[in-house]
Amino acid sequence: QVQLVESGGGLVQAGGSLRLSCGASGSIFTINAMGWYRQAPGKQRELVARITSGGRTNYADAVKGRFTISIDNAKNTVYLQMNSLKPDGTAVYYCDADTMMMTGRASLEEYDAWGQGTLVTVSA
């Protein structure tokens, strides 16, 4: 299996900044891409940002210009730098990894891993 652990969430005032981190571990052969999603109470989970191992990025319109996603391939870690936070950024942020996972038979399979989430609360 592949496991993801997020960290960096917390309380912040509007206009402030936080940096989220997500480390992947386990039977990883390669990571194709990693991303951040968020889910607020009563809302569906939505994409925040995604980055491929080659560095191509994709951002939700709501966070463009304020959030920056980056990946450290050597550490299997993705980061989300969140600046100019707004109250509508309050949500549980989840890390996702699109991986090629090593199986017990020395073969590979595509595996989509999810972390348990880290809570970000932005006060007005």
Do 40 and 107 meet the contact criterion of CB atoms below 8 Å apart? Answer: no
Q: How far apart are CA 24 and CA 2, in angstroms?
A: 7
Look at residue 105 and tell me whether its pLDDT is greater than 90.
no
Q: What's the whole-number average pLDDT of the chain?
A: 96
Position 104 scores a pLDDT of 83
**For 9-51, how does the pLDDT look when each residue is reduced to its tens digit (9 = 90+)?**
999 999 999 999 999 999 999 999 999 999 998 999 999 999 9
**For 41-93, how does the pLDDT look when each residue is reduced to its tens digit (9 = 90+)?**
899 999 999 999 999 999 999 999 999 999 999 999 999 999 999 999 999 99
Query: Token pair 């991986």 is at which residue?
Result: 99
Length of the chain: 124
CA-based nearest residue to 21, from 67, 77, 85: 77
Query: Token pair 């399979």 is at which residue?
Result: 109
